[in-house]
Amino acid sequence: MDKTRPSAGRSWPATEAEHEVWVSKSATWGVQATVAVPREINYTSSIPPFIAERELRLSSASAAMAEEASNELIRFDESLNGEIAPFAPLLLRSEAAASSRIENLTASARAVLTAELANRSGGNAARKNAEIIVANTRAMQAALDLSDDLTSHSVLGMHRELMTGDAHHQGGSWREEAVWIGTSSLSPVGALFVAPNFRRVPRLVDDLMIFARRGDLPRLAQTAVAHAQFETIHPFTDGNGRTGRALMQAMMRAKQLTHNVTVPVSAGLLANTNGYHQALMQYREGDIDTIVTLTAESSFLAITNAKELVIDIRGIQASWREQIKARADSGVWALLDLLARQPVVTADSAAQTLGLNPTNIYRLLNQLEQNGVLKKKPEYRSSVFWRSDEILAALDRFAERSGRRG
């Protein structure tokens, strides 16, 4: 009998455990010893349940909250139906940045948007963080692009985009070693949580994705539980949290909770990261209500925060229209539309996006600089970068609000 199958009679099975042996190398002849010998240490790893066919038996309170949050997500998405162009990329980047911030990876909006264009690696810690957040944005976009294909293959694709350029971790491959959370990086002994043996990972992820594709479950609750299960499987050596939150976005798109934009739910989770980690631990003990309730609460917070960002961007665009005097057919209006969604540009990137001659784009950029819409500065010791400090400040205010409890 497969002991990883859930036993009957429990609404949701708790994670079980199995004994493992960790083989470490330690010096045995004093503190200056250079000779090391293997040492075997006993520990336990997790055995997550299979969930593909399980029902979600929620408390009435958490079920009602999840349903209300689902309706709010749909309404917010629909409210932007006619204004997708500026808000879809800004909200996508905001979600990627918030998801990264949960892992203590922070950078300003200016740093992230500059890193998108620079296409370079290295530099100080802030620049490296910005490059990691750019990779997370790619993973989020890959998740949305793959939302019609909720399979193990799509999860690997998300992770591959996330880990591009990482010299220490293989992107797009299941782990082949033990991973754990807490206490020590030297061994899993005494860890807060030890993920399942790597040999279990492929089958567990296949089972999870069957659960994710089901159409007979309450959608936001299904998304929350799938995320908790993914984090319990921990299928990669690094990037599990960011990939798992990208999977949440893919599921929300697949379940039609969102259609036009990415609602930055990770920005809601940031308001209570301790509660988020605790909810994952409670899930492993057989409690699904906590993670479902927290995901619903985070959705409400994310929508409130995103609405404020939308108001900020609309106000900035309105002030631009008052500042700029140009013919209705002037290319400056197309450039302003671009800046609302891409507030850091180079002359080449703007010309290419708008299909304009580079000579003409310099004229338009200089016009906006003279009107106070743009500032310019050489970055990365190469190109001149043009930026809208107003849009960047609005994005930074969004990030600051994300870190506060509602």
Same domain, 263 and 371: no
Is the pLDDT at 28 greater than 70? The verdict is no
The residue ranking higher by pLDDT, 44 or 7, is 44
- 384 by DSSP, 3-state: which? strand
- Residue numbers belonging to the annotated binding site: 238-245
Q: Identify the domain containing residue 153 by its residue range.
A: 52-308
pLDDT recorded at residue 186:
80
In a domain, 404, yes or no: no
Same domain, 263 and 153: yes
Domain boundary, last residue among 264, 279, 308: 308
In a domain, 318, yes or no: no
Give dist(CA 227, CA 148) in Å, integer.
Answer: 17
**From 153, 159, 168, 234, the catalytic residue:** 234
pLDDT recorded at residue 328:
86
Residue 217's region, left for phi above 0, alpha for psi from -120 to 50, else beta, is beta
Same domain, 272 and 390: no
Same domain, 208 and 352: no
Q: Which two tokens stand for residue 160?
A: 């591959």
Same domain, 111 and 246: yes
Q: What's the pTM?
A: 0.89
- Residue numbers belonging to the annotated binding site for ATP: 238-245
Give dist(CA 138, CA 47) in Å, integer.
Answer: 31
pLDDT recorded at residue 51:
98
What's the CA dihedral at 324, 330, 333, 336 to 10 degrees? -80
pLDDT recorded at residue 35:
47
In a domain, 9, yes or no: no
Domain boundary, last residue among 240, 273, 308: 308
Same domain, 95 and 158: yes
- 249 by DSSP, 3-state: which? helix
Count of other CB atoms within 10 angstroms of residue 33? 11
pLDDT in tens, 3-27: 444 443 347 999 999 999 988 755 4
In a domain, 199, yes or no: yes
**CATH code: domain of residue 92:** 1.10.3290.10
125-145 vs 240-254: helix crossing angle, rounded to 10: 30
Same domain, 73 and 180: yes
Residue 19 catalytic? no
In a domain, 23, yes or no: no
Number of domains forming the structure of the chain? 2
Give dist(CA 320, CA 350) in Å, integer.
Answer: 18
**CATH code: domain of residue 384:** 1.10.10.10
Same domain, 336 and 303: no
Domain boundary, last residue among 244, 278, 308: 308
Q: Where are the alpha helices (DSSP H) in 163-260?
A: 201-213, 219-233, 240-254
Residues with Cβ < 8 Å from 83, sequence gap 6 or more? 310
Same domain, 96 and 182: yes
Same domain, 291 and 331: no
Same domain, 124 and 264: yes
Q: Which of 204, 80, 75, 92 is nearest to 152 (CA)?
A: 204
Q: Which two tokens stand for residue 195?
A: 């993920």
pLDDT range class, residue 280, cuts 50, 70, 90 = very high
In a domain, 33, yes or no: no
In a domain, 30, yes or no: no
For residues 229-257, average pLDDT:
96
In a domain, 36, yes or no: no
Same domain, 155 and 280: yes
Give dist(CA 369, CA 376) in Å, integer.
Answer: 8
Q: Dihedrals φ, ψ of 198, to 5°?
A: -60, -25
